Amino acid sequence: MTELSQIRNFSIVAHIDHGKSTLADRLIQLTGTVAERDMKEQLLDSMDIERERGITIKANTVRIEYPAKDGKTYVLNLIDTPGHVDFAYEVSRSMRAVEGSLLVVDATQGVEAQTLANVYTALDADHEIVPVLNKIDLPAAEPARVAEQIEDVIGIDASNAIQISAKTGLGIPDVLEAIVTRLPPPHEGDATKPLKALLVDSYYDPYLGVVVLVRIIDGVLRKGDRIRMMRTGGTYGVDRIGVFRPAMQDIAELGPGEIGFLTASIKLVRDTRVGDTITTERKGIETPLPGFKPSIPVVFCGLFPVDANEFEDLREAIEKLALNDASFTYEMETSAALGFGFRCGFLGLLHLEVVRDRLEREYGIDLITTAPSVIYHVYMRDGTMMELHNPADMPDLTLVDHIEEPRIRATILVPDDFLGDILKLCQDRRGEQLDLTYAGSRAMVVYDLPLNEVVFDFYDRLKSVTKGYASFDYQMAGYREDYLVKMQILVNDEPVDALSTMVHRDRAEMRGRAMVEKLKELIPRHMFKIPVQAAIGGRVIARETIAALRKDVTAKCYGGDATRKRKLLDKQKAGKKKMRQFGKVEIPQQAFINALKMDG
Amino acid sequence: MTAEDWQAGGFGLYIHWPFCLSKCPYCDFNSHVAATIDMAAWQRAYLSEIRRIGTETGPRTVNTVFFGGGTPSLMAPDLVAAILETVRATWPCANDMEVTLEANPGSVEAGRFRGYRDAGVTRVSLGVQALNDADLRRLGRLHSTAEARAAFDVARSTFERVSFDLIYARQGQTPADWQAELGEALAMAADHLSLYQLTIEPGTAFGDRHARGLLRGLPDDDRAADLFTATQEICAAAGLPAYEVSNHARPGAESRHNMIYWRYGDYAGIGPGAHGRLTLGGQRWATETPLSPSSWLAQVAQTGRGETPRTVLNPREQAAEYLLMGLRLVEGLSVARYERLGQEQIDPGKVADLEQLGLLEHHAGILRATAAGRAVLNAVIRELLPD
């Protein structure tokens, strides 16, 4: 056990690419936590997708031992938190497990929206914050200007910001020293009290079962203890206790203020909810830590195998993925057009993409992803309310009184030059401006937007209209009634349920037109002409026609061509199986997602 | 003994001469440019292969011989004569055996026409390709329009039957340009025309240029379809209706050799890269030969067998080949024969759908593609092939 006064628990708040992972690597390296030969870039991001996208999905921890200038050796526990809005709740839990944060800002870029959201979460958690200006070795670095911006935008003192280059290692010793001198030790902690520990995060390991990251508040956790999860009620015998350095290292016990892991033959990540309180099975505490909430999916879509024969493979893959991701929900769905698949719920769009990518990449399943949907509250005339996750389930309109949709409060930071584009984008997406302020040459815009206008391609559009210079963050902001209708797409006069979407009535014509035009490009010509229509309750609001194929014949076909021609036709025949058949029409896989992408 | 399936199509020999004076940018055929050619060695190889295949097939009537290439009009008439003599000595030949030779319409070749006729050639097919000098150059042809017309006249007075090829749907070619050119071609009074839409094949010079976006002004599918329809109408009105996707003839002047392919008869493929279909011992074999001229020549000389390993075609493959060949013909194919070959029924629902679309006709046991169906034949065949 370590003395409370010699423990420092902290997290790093930074925007993507501002150098969080590199700084973490340097801290680990400089303290000799990892042998030089085992260093690889971004030690803490373990999933391929995390590495590729430069994002953190799961919280990671690392314990560093640092001999400070005062002659004492301190235990520094770094929690690397997810950095994306989809995982805002997980971030807030991680923040509760530590007492301070390093705020890392790229001295060539300045503060971004995501940084802002996370720094507010840190302030909410009463963190001491040490500003760190990174990349000061670059010629474009403007530490003075960025420090001023931190004070203006965030409102914290940046006069003693530490100037570093995580890449070259410049200033890293100063950071270590500041962690000890400027961040507080754990505020409370009594080893004699009953066990009280915060469940920070968990993940599934095929050999160990579920590995649980914990922060001990009071009491001591030892191997062999019987523990109880206070929210989910499960009880378990602790098999292993240890810390991450960053490889797993067993230790005998974890005392107050310490951060580490436990394993207890837990089979499902679902049984270890982020934010839960862990105590002993007997003589435990009565009141759990405040602030727990189960993670709730906000974006839904259908996932169907392109090849209907792969349904069982998809089921298996989804079940395996769900083992390690409690926030992702799924249930079987049957679509008239797509057959068997799953309706899945996600914390946000990034989460959706990550799960879809993993299913395709790690399990080799080609997927059709249907239009993402949010949860609508459909109030019926009989006074009941139903949650609508799938436009296909929209009840008969004569039974519906009104519909409410979820809204978000979006914060966008953008250079002046692109402000007009951003305002137009938000306006086009039915946004209502709440605030517009300037900090230097950057504007901060706050909009109230319907979530359904954001779930699909808002982020892509934002990036493209601002050449990547805007940053974006959001919080859920309740439900509000609006004039929403279900728009159906009919291909060759047959409704394709996978393309149904909920839209605002005023935007229906525009969306419908855009979708049928897109589909006209995406569906190959057939031997007959194909009408493609958008309709609201049987009334057609947009129509395009895919002309019939008129020319597809091999000019020369003689004796020497028979074999090649036969094989080619066989191959094309096999290629047709990659498309989904709707009545007599074959729709390629990409059409489902691409049809929804708006150019404006 | 009941008739074997191939007899519904007949039996022909295809002789491949792989050499050209230069390679055309649109051509993906097995053709080579060589500095010197050992005519004696080639003659020994051809004759040896003819005798070998004769031993395998035993006596059966040869209906047609076709010299293709490459540029067979680069062959010495003596070589052609020796080959045909050997064919006659090997198999019984039909009295009206059709012997076609593909010829380049240059002045040098025209000088050899009489020699070919004396050797037994009854029909020439001239690679005219265009009646427009600028386009001939673009197509990489070495002859001029004037030379082509002169060669055609010599051919017309030398052979019973003359055909020529044109390539259309060329870069920048308007419907009016093509109609005028086709009118000129029809006025030349050939009894047979092969009219091919320019196809950009991967691995050719045009293919490379196309991939790099350098081949501009090619018609899109709709314009190509219009050109195809106009071609059908103009030729029919001039008395040379289409009898196959790209082939037009006065009734009775169809290429009998090519009809063997489309009616799914048997054919022996002799020479580098030549394919064959041979029914032997109750099985239909697909034969192929080494592609490279020197390998083929050496293999024949050393082993007495200028073939790569053969494969037996299963019922499904035979039916597919009969379908994809037979539907090219205006006369169509026999459903009974198709089902006998494939040992599988043709899907009546799919046939009915395609009839509904006006792409197919099914009448008195004959399945035929309509003119509209022939323009989208690949799609029609994909639909009809069993899943």
Query: What's CA A103's distance to the chain center, in Å?
Result: 21
Question: Into how many domains does chain A fold?
Answer: 5
CA distance B101 to B117: 10
Beta strand pairing status for B161-168 and B123-129?
A: parallel
Predicted confidence (pLDDT) per residue in B53-97, tens digit: 999 999 999 999 999 988 999 999 999 999 999 999 999 999 999
Residue A440 domain flag: yes
| Residue at a domain's end among A482, A507, A539 | A482
Is the domain of A420 the same as that of A495?
no
Within an 8 Å CB–CB cutoff, is residue A309 touching chain B?
no
Instruction: Say yes or no for a CB contact (<8 Å) between A556 and B228.
Output: no
Within an 8 Å CB–CB cutoff, is residue B377 touching chain A?
yes
Substitution target from A552, A581, A584 for chain B, most B beta carbons within 10 A:
A552
**Where are chain B's structural domains?**
5-261, 315-384
pLDDT of residue A84: 64
Could you tell me which of A289, A294, A351 has the C-alpha nearest to residue A89?
Answer: A294
Closest CA of chain A from B275, distance in Å: 5
Q: Chain A residues with CB inside 8 Å of B375's CB? A: 550-553
CATH, domain range B5-261: 3.20.20.70
CA distance A434 to A436: 7
- In terms of CA atoms, which chain B residue is nearest residue A555? B196
Closest CA of chain B from A534, distance in Å: 25
Within an 8 Å CB–CB cutoff, is residue A556 touching chain B?
yes
Does the annotation flag A164 for ligand binding? no
Is the domain of A522 the same as that of A576?
yes
Predicted confidence (pLDDT) per residue in B87-98, tens digit: 999 999 999 999
Closest CA of chain B from A305, distance in Å: 20
Instruction: Please check whether residue B5 is in contact with residue B284, taking contact to mean a CB–CB distance below 8 angstroms.
Output: yes
Chain B, residues 199-218, CB within 8 A of chain A, namely 199
A399-425 burial, b if ≥16 CB within 10 A, otherwise e? ebeebbbbbbbbbbbbbeebbebbbeb
Which of A239-253, B153-167, B290-304 has the least mean pLDDT? A239-253
Substitution target from A492, A550, A571 for chain B, most B beta carbons within 10 A:
A550
Predicted confidence (pLDDT) per residue in B172-183, tens digit: 999 999 999 999
Instruction: Say yes or no for a CB contact (<8 Å) between A527 and B380.
Output: yes
Does the annotation flag A329 for ligand binding? no
Inter-chain contacts counted by CB atoms under 8 A, chains A and B: 100
**What is the SS3 assignment for B8?**
helix
- In terms of CA atoms, which chain B residue is nearest residue A562? B321
CATH number of residue A311's parent domain: 3.30.70.870
Closest CA of chain A from B376, distance in Å: 4
Which two structure tokens, joined as six digits, stand for B165? 């090829």
Is the domain of A460 the same as that of A434?
yes
Is the domain of A271 the same as that of A418?
no
Judge if B5-261 and B315-384 fold alike in CATH terms. Answer: no
Closest CA of chain B from A576, distance in Å: 9
% of chain B exceeding 90 in pLDDT: 84
Q: In whole numbers, what is the pLDDT of chain B averaged over residues?
A: 94
- In terms of CA atoms, which chain B residue is nearest residue A554? B378
CB-CB: which of B196, B224, B353 is closest to A551? B224
Within an 8 Å CB–CB cutoff, is residue A576 touching chain B?
yes
Residue A131 domain flag: yes
Instruction: Say yes or no for a CB contact (<8 Å) between B221 and A553.
Output: no
Within an 8 Å CB–CB cutoff, is residue B380 touching chain A?
yes
Does the annotation flag A21 for ligand binding? yes
The interface predicted TM-score of the complex, written ipTM, equals 0.94
The tally of CA atoms less than 13 A away on the side-chain side of residue A268 is: 10
pLDDT of residue A600: 42
Within an 8 Å CB–CB cutoff, is residue A287 touching chain B?
no
Could you tell me the CA-to-CA distances from A55 to A16, A18, A36, A200, B300 in Å, in that order? 7, 11, 24, 18, 65
Does the annotation flag A22 for ligand binding? yes
- In terms of CA atoms, which chain B residue is nearest residue A527? B379
CA distance B121 to B101: 7
CB atoms within 10 A of CB A152: 15
Chain B, residues 165-204, CB within 8 A of chain A, namely 196-199
CB-CB: which of B225, B269, B353 is closest to A559? B269
Residue A294 domain flag: no
CATH number of residue A32's parent domain: 3.40.50.300
Within an 8 Å CB–CB cutoff, is residue A528 touching chain B?
yes
Closest CA of chain A from B379, distance in Å: 7
Instruction: Say yes or no for a CB contact (<8 Å) between A551 and B321.
Output: no
pLDDT of residue A378: 96
Does the annotation flag A136 for ligand binding? yes
Q: Chain A residues with CB inside 8 Å of B320's CB? A: 566, 569-570
Q: Give A147's contacts (C-beta < 8 A, 6+ positions apart).
A: A131, A133, A158, A159, A161
Range of the structural domain that residue A273 is part of: 196-280
Predicted confidence (pLDDT) per residue in B276-295, tens digit: 999 999 999 999 999 999 99
Q: Chain A residues with CB inside 8 Å of B24's CB? A: none
Instruction: Please check whether residue A230 is in contact with residue A279, taking contact to mean a CB–CB distance below 8 angstroms.
Output: yes
CATH number of residue A549's parent domain: 3.30.70.2570
Substitution target from B378, B380, B383, B387 for chain A, most A beta carbons within 10 A:
B378
Is the domain of A365 the same as that of A383?
no
CATH number of residue A219's parent domain: 2.40.30.10
CB-CB: which of B221, B267, B359 is closest to A551? B221
Is the domain of A538 the same as that of A477?
no
Instruction: Say yes or no for a CB contact (<8 Å) between B385 and A569.
Output: yes
Within an 8 Å CB–CB cutoff, is residue B112 touching chain A?
no
Residue whose structure tokens are 């419908």:
A512
Within an 8 Å CB–CB cutoff, is residue B381 touching chain A?
yes
CA distance A416 to A433: 16
Within an 8 Å CB–CB cutoff, is residue B275 touching chain A?
yes
pLDDT of residue B140: 87
Substitution target from B129, B256, B376 for chain A, most A beta carbons within 10 A:
B376
Substitution target from B248, B310, B325, B353 for chain A, most A beta carbons within 10 A:
B325
Does the annotation flag A18 for ligand binding? yes
Residue A26 domain flag: yes
Q: What average pLDDT does this structure show over B218-246?
A: 95
Q: Give A454's contacts (C-beta < 8 A, 6+ positions apart).
A: A408, A410, A429, A474
Instruction: Say yes or no for a CB contact (<8 Å) between B317 and A566.
Output: yes
Is the domain of A216 the same as that of A341?
no
- In terms of CA atoms, which chain A residue is nearest residue B255? A558
Per-residue pLDDT of chain A (600 residues; tens, 9 = 90+): 788 999 999 998 887 677 777 888 888 888 877 666 565 555 555 445 454 544 455 667 889 999 999 999 999 999 887 666 667 777 888 888 999 999 999 999 888 877 877 888 888 888 999 999 999 999 999 999 999 989 988 888 999 999 999 989 999 999 999 999 999 999 889 999 999 999 998 888 878 889 999 999 999 999 999 999 998 899 999 999 999 988 889 999 999 999 999 999 998 888 888 889 999 999 999 999 887 777 778 888 899 998 888 999 999 999 888 877 777 889 998 877 778 999 999 887 778 888 888 888 888 888 888 888 889 999 999 999 999 988 888 998 899 999 999 999 988 888 888 999 999 999 989 999 999 998 777 788 999 999 988 876 787 788 788 877 777 777 788 999 999 999 999 999 999 888 889 999 998 998 899 899 999 999 999 999 999 999 998 899 999 999 999 999 999 999 999 999 999 988 888 777 667 777 789 888 778 777 776 654
Assign a CATH topology to domain B315-384. Answer: Arc Repressor Mutant, subunit A (1.10.10)
pLDDT of residue B283: 95
Query: Whole-model pTM?
Result: 0.70
| Peptide bond between residue B315 and the one before it cis (omega within 30 degrees of 0) | no
Within an 8 Å CB–CB cutoff, is residue A247 touching chain B?
no
Is the domain of A85 the same as that of A178?
yes
Does the annotation flag A157 for ligand binding? no
Per 3-state DSSP, what percentage of chain B is helix, strand, and coil (rounded to 5)?
45, 20, 35
Instruction: Please check whether residue A472 is in contact with residue A412, taking contact to mean a CB–CB distance below 8 angstroms.
Output: yes
- In terms of CA atoms, which chain B residue is nearest residue A567? B317
Is the domain of A21 the same as that of A127?
yes
Residue A502 domain flag: yes
Instruction: Say yes or no for a CB contact (<8 Å) between B261 and A555.
Output: no
Q: Chain B residues with CB inside 8 Å of A573's CB? A: 382, 385, 387
Is the domain of A161 the same as that of A35?
yes
Instruction: Say yes or no for a CB contact (<8 Å) between A560 and B387.
Output: no
Query: What's CA A90's distance to the chain center, in Å?
Result: 10
Residue A189 domain flag: no
Query: What's CA A559's distance to the chain center, in Å?
Result: 58
Closest CA of chain B from A580, distance in Å: 15
Q: Chain A residues with CB inside 8 Å of B199's CB? A: 554-556
Within an 8 Å CB–CB cutoff, is residue B378 touching chain A?
yes
Is the domain of A103 the same as that of A238?
no
CATH number of residue A393's parent domain: 3.30.70.240
Give A339's strand partners. A335
pLDDT band at B1 (very low <50, low <70, confident <90, very high): very low
